[in-house]
Amino acid sequence: MKNKALFLLVTAIVSGFLVLSTFALTQEQKSQLYSIVEIVVKPAMVAKYEAAIKKEIELGYPYAFDTYSSDDFHYYFLTPIENYASIEAISKARIEWAKKIGDQHPALIKSIEGTVEYFRKGVIRYVPELSYIPKKPRLKPEEKKFLCWSFCYVEFNKEKEFAGIAKEWVELYKSKNIGDGWSFYGAESGTEMPFCFFAMSGKSPADFFSEDEKAMKKIGEEKYMELGKKMNALLRKYEFKMGRPRPDLSNMPKQK
């Protein structure tokens, strides 16, 4: 489902924000806010940058984050947040952590110098109403080693119309009982607005595109393409990326 496959997930090591999503339709299901950081790393510096992230985790960075990387050397760090007040709590905890590790903190920052092209911070919200979770998923969580992200830059004032089409995709996949789902996220800050994305996964690129082809045939190519064209007509820009989850660069601090 390349017209909907998306990704964003990101926050790490240095940040926190959060906000409401323009794309949320109702509050019947619980949505989730995430603060995010996107870091673009120089290709020749990947090993050095990743070593710094691992060192940060080793030094006991206090907040959890999940990490994802794309094939074009973008790294995304994602931290769930309960509310806006959490931003200040994360900032304070980061400052206290930096004090606690002493001279190791400036050394850590120094080790990243020259590895990064740029970074940006923002907020996204998971929107359950526009996400599709199959009753019987085809893959187990540990099998999802490939991610594809379709970034949708929506035309101004077309968010509700776009969300309506996204909901049509959900109902269509439900009606066919398709075993591969997706997560939908709306962005609140940190990028060109309006912006949203779907995140989809597979065992590998070959597995993902093969199953996408099967889903299209099950739905019917004409219907599939028709809905895809309706969605694309509301976009001012579209990007498709591939990547993977990075458990080796993710942080899960022990609960105190």
Domain end, chosen from 124, 157, 187, is at 124
Q: Which of the four pLDDT bands, split at 50, 70 and 90, describes residue 255? A: low
**How does pLDDT run across 40-86, given as a tens digit for each residue?**
999 999 999 999 999 999 999 999 999 999 999 999 999 999 877 78
Q: How many CB atoms lie within 10 A of CB 76?
A: 25
pLDDT in the model for residue 1:
56
pLDDT in the model for residue 82:
84
**Residue 71 placed within a domain:** yes
**How does pLDDT run across 116-126, given as a tens digit for each residue?**
999 999 889 99
Query: Which residue do the tokens 């911070």 mark?
Result: 121
**Residue 7 placed within a domain:** no
**Residue 205 placed within a domain:** yes
Domain end, chosen from 86, 105, 124, is at 124
Q: What is the CATH number of the domain that holds 59?
A: 3.30.70.100
22 to each of 29, 39, 126, how far by Cα in Å? 15, 24, 11
pLDDT in the model for residue 254:
72
Q: What percent of the chain has pLDDT over 70?
A: 88
| Whether residues 66 and 147 fall in one domain | no
Kindly report the pTM of this predicted structure. Answer: 0.85
Q: What is the C-alpha to C-alpha distance for residues 231 and 164, in angstroms, rounded to an integer?
A: 10
Containing structural domain, residue 170: 132-243
pLDDT tops 90 at residue 114: yes
Query: Residue 96: what are its φ and ψ, rounded to 5°?
Result: -65, -40
| Whether residues 157 and 91 fall in one domain | no
Domain end, chosen from 61, 96, 124, is at 124
| Whether residues 213 and 231 fall in one domain | yes
pLDDT tops 80 at residue 102: yes
**Residue 27 placed within a domain:** no
